[in-house]
Amino acid sequence: MIGETLGRYKIVEIIGSGGMAEVYKAYQPGLDRYVAVKVLHSFLASDENFLTRFKREAKAVAALRHPNIVQVYDFDYDQERGLYYMVMEFIEGPTLKTRLEELTARGERMDLGEAIRTIAAVGDALEYAHRRGMVHRDVKPANIMYTADGQAILTDFGIAKMVNLSGLTASGAMVGTPAYISPEQGLGHAGDERSDIYSLGVVLYQLVTGSLPFDADTPMGVVLKHINEPLPSPRSLRPDLPVGLERALAQALAKDPAQRYQAVAEFVADLRRVAAGQEVYPPPPAVTTVSPALEETMRVQPPPLATPLPPAPPRRRRWWIPLGVGAVVVLVLLVAAVVLATSTVLSGWLGNGAIGSPTAPPPSPDVAATQFAATLEAIQAIQATLGAPTATLMPTPTPTPTPDLTATALASCVFDLEIVEDQSVRPTILMPGQNFVKRWVVRNNGTCPWEADFRLVYVSGEQMGGPESVEVEPVGVGEEWRIELPLQAPTGYATHTGVWQLQDGEGHPVGAELQVVARVDLTPTPPPPTATPLPPTPESTPTPLEPLHMSVPILWGTCTEDVWNGVWGGTLVWSAGGGTGTYHYFHSDVQPDFELAEPSYTFSTQTGRRLLMKFFTTSAGLDVIGALPQGCCDGTSGRYVTPGGVEVVWQTVNVGQGDCP
């Protein structure tokens, strides 16, 4: 087909070939650009339902707009040749497969940081697609490309589903590549989002170890190993790998989908924790699906986050209870001994005829003393036998060193975070690439202050141009911290989500995750102004030395046009002066959802349509302005002063493509 024309595209050269399609570099004269044309093999058309699936899935893939997913421009059927084809953006860089081959030829392995960045980027793309009901089903290095600036791009979305929904092609072959196929796909099932997680885990295993987890003489032998063989420990091939990375791989590559990560975002979040030097503790597998060494690593569970409470002190012994019992026993024995001694004396007297004989002499003092001494000795012997307490009842306590109260307090700290205020992204609808600020107010509701080594860290989802981490000023217990995170809207029309997390100095998470949800879409047309006349400016309103004013917004920079999606756009900018010198900017209306971070507005609208919109500049924020009266701000421009002295000025613009610089 080299040199031929397919639809509007002139084929230049072949750049790839696979079991389902051939990929060509082609030139599109109408837009003076190169594109990639994927031509599906003709045998696929033998399936009578293929055309229906092709149209449905191609439309779904073309709707995916993510910086890490290849953009699909067009899809069509060439009747003359009987070929279905898709037209995509042309990416100059190599595939990940080529990159791996180059590293292998040099006897090298990919740098750990580069490997995690690549997999995290592809994971973000998969998470975006999964949220929209799209499963890739053939994640592998050949379907991952690099742009000229090193950005990883996932290609071939939807091809597997176009071929067949059952997991088998029209020719009976399994969908997926044996080296990267999930066990359930190997058994002939279609697979779901967790199948993509497994395949992505295989790619990461290969990047960090330089080897695939399973190999055999035949493709079916490889598939059977994916189904039956325990996962070899990655650290047996590369001992310097972090233990946390090995644990993450073990969970991503679990045989049972229920034992894997249930969302790509969870896998990516753990990988980013590993890159940040933090520990990762996925739940251990319920069924052994890994090698014994790797199973032992997975069984290790994290230490408790908070220091356990010290054991309760032993109960004080009630020493007086045994002492009292012993005293009673001794007293009883003493009485018995006295009685015995008395009876002995009396017996002596009776034996001598003393009873009944008034003249009988009493025992001699020596005899009585001897008998008393014997009785006392017997009592002391009994007392010693019973172990009666001596006069020293409590031992003298041994002095102990004074505990380190500071260390004890730090060890028992409980760190926690309460989200006091979670402001919605403003404006509610963002334009591609528009700058915005996400704001939270959080409170330290733990038992110890947040120190200077605490950080707000990006952990998962779409980073939206935000920082990897933000330093935290010390925050005392019960105090609040206001967070302002500068971000940039992604380029794709969709609802985008990113997650940040407060972490302590050792990388442990603190409190709930902070989520950013940004909607990127076409700007809605503002409602027409009402005809209610503008209320008069109160006479008592103080007038500033120089009234607030703003320039007419103008198009700045280069306008954009997306022919295939029928939209064009640009950026409007203006300036302000006078008033208080502190300005707030709005589009469409002076409401929270329409506030802008700066006097500029990036828009996108249908091709051929002019943009009609009103922009406002105020001398105070919404908390001071309050609600403007109905009918305020009619006309193409004007000025209004609230009863509190806050100035509001506005300008209406009406621009079209012909006004672009």
| Per-residue pLDDT tens over the stretch 240-256 | 999 999 999 999 999 99
CA dist 131 and 193 (Å) reads 10
**Tokens representing 605?**
């609208």
Question: What pairs with residue 461 in β-bridges?
Answer: 498
Q: What is the pLDDT of residue 303?
A: 52
Domain match, 81 and 174 both: no
What are the angstrom distances between the C-alpha of 638 and each of 532, 551, 597, 634? 15, 12, 22, 8
CATH number for position 26: 3.30.200.20
Q: Between these two residues, 148 and 323, which has the higher pLDDT value?
A: 148
pLDDT at 267 over 70: yes
CA dist 474 and 386 (Å) reads 65
CA dist 464 and 592 (Å) reads 21
List the domain range (segments joined by +) for residue 145.
96-299
Domain match, 84 and 120 both: no
Residues 18, 22, 28, 31, CA torsion sign: negative
Domain match, 160 and 273 both: yes
CA dist 260 and 237 (Å) reads 22
Domain boundary among 89, 105, 125: 89
Domain match, 16 and 63 both: yes
Q: What is the pLDDT of residue 333?
A: 57
Domain boundary among 89, 124, 142: 89
**Tokens representing 617?**
């500049």
Judge whether 85 and 72 are in contact, CB under 8 Å. Answer: no
pLDDT in tens, 53-100: 777 777 777 788 888 999 888 888 888 888 888 899 999 889 999 999
* Mean of pLDDT over the chain: 76
CA dist 109 and 234 (Å) reads 13
Inside any domain, residue 540? no
CATH number for position 478: 2.60.40.10
pLDDT in tens, 286-298: 544 555 556 555 5
Amino acid of residue 638:
G
Q: What is the pLDDT of residue 329?
A: 54
Domain match, 632 and 574 both: yes
CA dist 450 and 476 (Å) reads 6
CA dist 241 and 232 (Å) reads 14
Domain match, 422 and 375 both: no
Domain match, 49 and 108 both: no
Inside any domain, residue 321? no
Inside any domain, residue 566? yes
pLDDT in tens, 149-162: 888 999 887 665 55
Judge whether 550 and 564 are in contact, CB under 8 Å. Answer: no
Domain match, 58 and 77 both: yes
Inside any domain, residue 434? yes
Number of domains in the chain: 5
CA dist 316 and 238 (Å) reads 57
List the end-to-end C-alpha distance of the chain, in Å, as a whole number. Answer: 41
List b or e across 337-365, with b for residues whose CB sees 16 or more CB atoms inside 10 angstroms.
beeebeeebeeebeeeebeeeeeeeebee
Please report the DSSP string for 457-482 in residue order. Answer: EEEEE--TT--SEEE---B-TT-EEE
Domain match, 42 and 111 both: no
State what percent of residues in the chain have pLDDT above 90: 24
Domain match, 226 and 77 both: no
What are the angstrom distances between the C-alpha of 72 and each of 45, 148, 163, 522? 21, 19, 18, 19
Inside any domain, residue 392? no
The residue annotated as part of the active site, out of 76, 138, 156, 270, is 138
Asked if 404 is an active-site residue, the reply is no
Amino acid of residue 353:
G
Inside any domain, residue 360? no
- What are the residue ranges of helices labelled H in 387-537? 405-411
CA dist 13 and 19 (Å) reads 19
Domain match, 207 and 125 both: yes
Inside any domain, residue 461? yes
CA dist 138 and 130 (Å) reads 14
Domain match, 73 and 125 both: no
Q: Between these two residues, 353 and 264, which has the higher pLDDT value?
A: 264
CA dist 438 and 489 (Å) reads 11
CATH number for position 126: 1.10.510.10
Q: What is the pLDDT of residue 213?
A: 94
Q: Are strands 600-606 and 567-573 parallel, antiparallel or unpaired?
A: antiparallel
Inside any domain, residue 534? no
